[in-house]
Amino acid sequence: MADKRATIPREIGRTGLRYTTKNLVDDELSPELRWPHSLTTFDKMKSDPLVSGSLMMIKQYIRKVEWDIEPVGGVNATDEDKATADILRDALFMRMARSWDQVVADILSFIEYGFSFHEPTYKVYKGNFIWKDFPSRSQKTISGFKFDERGNLDQIKQCPANLAGFTPKATTEIEIPYSRLLHFRTDSERNNPLGRSILKNAYYAWDKKTKLEYYEAVGIEREMNGLPVFRIPMEYFMADPQEDPDRYKVFQDFIRIGTNVRNNEQACLFLPSDTDETSNKELFNFDLVASRGTRSIDTSKVIERYDYRIAQSMLSDFILMGSSSSGSFALSDNKIGTFIQTLEAYLEIIAEQFNRKAIPTLYRMNGWDDTRTCKLVHKPIGAASLADLGGFLQNVGSYLTADKHLENAIRKRADLPERDDSSTFLDTPVNVHQAISQRIGMTKNADKEAAVASPDDLAEQDDAMVDNLMKALDGSYQGEA
């Protein structure tokens, strides 16, 4: 009987990424944003107070997030899976050469550069392979990329810098297999290994703002010092460098003096006092002309507009509220909410690389079952207010089953200490407590003389119900309500 199973269809199309077998072709229109020149441009942009402040805020928010290793099955995980999760948790957060916070800070360079490569290193601890570190492969040392016949990244080429006598010298180019690397990037459009820096969208506004600030500084300087004006005889203007080199040299000296007249650089100017014999006027004259009136262009407004556009491109425009005329406080909650969601997307990028590559690789190295791998998870950024938390619990209270884990989670969000198991808690359903208490009360109020049972029997019943109530309080009661 012929095999009727379908064959795997062959891939036909391409992603559209421009590349050769030996390198990537960056088709960015602006030369300043074209790799590898873009790295220098981004470094310049990071010197801007607004850009550096926004980047710092993004990174500090992310670095404050708590991470954990979650076993397969969560709270219902087997003892074996929980033990494996403990090994990974200890390896990642306690046993590495650098702290986890430092590793995350290193990884976050993909936000401003668009991508970041890290090569995991390993060591042996208590008979298991664990991570030693996740050192970065600096973006500035990446010299090229190699692709396979289908356009998938196969290797990266690196030229590590060797600083000898403060003179960088390129060493032999090395090639690192892509399978060995963790690749973090903000965007994977066309499977471009460069990603897309969040500073790209801010470049146009930053460039205009930087130029405008420079012109503003020049204008202020000229406004304070005045515009230098020289009046010299016409023969010096007409002097030929070959026929009349002396006058030509004097003319060039005056040009140099005029362009360099600045306070503290050229504090005074000496001119000859000779006068024309006919007109009795000075042969040379120098003056500073100050502007009259105010300028018609308010550069502060224009710079403020470019600042707002930079912050908008980085979704951090809420930090300008109150310091400028831009933005509305009524929209601040929505803006901050959008900003937080973006940061959580960055957290997912980090977790995705560990869960898809780093953790399964470690499982295979140790001979563990890589079909049941743990996961790197993160807690939410920020915390809801107590009023919001109370409203949420009130709305969904009937759908939640109270247990120790839920109680501790609520306590943590409310910044309260975790539950202490050594203290007495009401773990038995409330209706059991109420039912036993009611029986005790009814017995106490009963007419013991009219009762069929003797007073001694009623006292024994009281003692038994009190004993049951105490058992219900400490969670050991097994009877019915």
**Top-confidence residue, 22 or 53:** 53
pLDDT number for residue 440: 55
Query: In this structure, what DSSP letter does residue 116 have?
Result: E
Best CA proximity match to 375, nearest among 76, 65, 61, 81: 81
Q: How many CB atoms lie within 10 A of CB 62?
A: 20
d(Cα 374, Cα 69) in Å, to the nearest integer? 6
d(Cα 459, Cα 426) in Å, to the nearest integer? 26
pLDDT at 280 > cutoff 90? no
pLDDT number for residue 451: 46
pLDDT at 273 > cutoff 70? no
pLDDT at 464 > cutoff 50? yes
Give SS3 for 120. Answer: coil
pLDDT tens string 6-25: 788 888 888 889 888 778 98
Structure tokens at 34: 């074209």
Contact 378, 65 (CB under 8 A): yes
d(Cα 220, Cα 290) in Å, to the nearest integer? 11
Quote the radius of gyration of the chain (alpha carbons, Å): 38
pLDDT number for residue 187: 92
Give SS3 for 155. Answer: strand
pLDDT at 299 > cutoff 70? yes
pLDDT number for residue 403: 78
Buried b / exposed e across 68-98, counting CB within 10 Å, b at 16+? ebbbbeeeebeeebeebbebbbebbeeebee
Best CA proximity match to 50, nearest among 342, 339, 310, 300: 310
The DSSP-derived string for 398-433 is GG----HHHHHHHHHHTT-PPP-TTS----S-HHHH
Contacts of 321 (CB under 8 A, 6+ apart): 327, 328, 329, 332
pLDDT at 291 > cutoff 70? no
Query: In this structure, what DSSP letter does residue 19 have?
Result: B
pLDDT at 324 > cutoff 80? no
**Top-confidence residue, 424 or 309:** 309
Q: Which of 2-6, 232-236, 379-383 has the lowest mean pLDDT?
A: 2-6
Within 141-290, strands assigned E span 142-147, 153-158, 161-164, 167-170, 174-177, 182-185, 227-231, 285-289
pLDDT number for residue 166: 42
**Top-confidence residue, 452 or 86:** 86
Work out the average pLDDT over 75-96: 93
Contact 84, 147 (CB under 8 A): no
**Top-confidence residue, 236 or 138:** 138
pLDDT number for residue 472: 58
Best CA proximity match to 459, nearest among 445, 470, 469, 444: 444
pLDDT number for residue 400: 78
Work out the average pLDDT over 97-104: 96
Put simply, whether the predicted model's pTM sits higher than 0.95 gets the answer: no
Work out the average pLDDT over 86-90: 96
d(Cα 418, Cα 406) in Å, to the nearest integer? 11
Give SS3 for 475. Answer: coil
pLDDT number for residue 330: 54
pLDDT at 300 > cutoff 50? yes
**Top-confidence residue, 472 or 393:** 393
Cα-Cα-Cα-Cα dihedral sign, residues 313, 319, 321, 322: negative
Contact 119, 77 (CB under 8 A): no
- Return mean pLDDT, the chain: 81
In Å, how far are 80, 353, 364 from 369, measured between CA atoms?
A: 11, 19, 7
**Top-confidence residue, 27 or 117:** 117
pLDDT at 237 > cutoff 60? yes
pLDDT at 255 > cutoff 80? yes
pLDDT number for residue 167: 44
How many helical (H) and strand (E) elements, i.e. helices and strands, does the chain have? 15, 14
pLDDT number for residue 121: 97
d(Cα 258, Cα 261) in Å, to the nearest integer? 5
Bond preceding residue 36 cis, omega within 30 of 0: yes
Work out the average pLDDT over 197-221: 91
Give residue limits of the domains in the chain.
Answer: 31-198+342-378, 227-289, 387-418, 430-474
Q: How many residues does the chain have?
A: 481
Q: Which of 69-78, 337-346, 412-421 has the lowest mean pLDDT?
A: 412-421
pLDDT tens string 348-369: 999 999 999 999 999 999 999 9
pLDDT number for residue 308: 93
Confidence of residue 32 (pLDDT cuts 50, 70, 90): very high
Structure tokens at 168: 């960088």
The listed range with the strongest mean pLDDT (45-49, 241-245, 395-399) is 45-49
pLDDT number for residue 165: 42
d(Cα 111, Cα 370) in Å, to the nearest integer? 30
Q: How many CB atoms lie within 10 A of CB 341?
A: 11
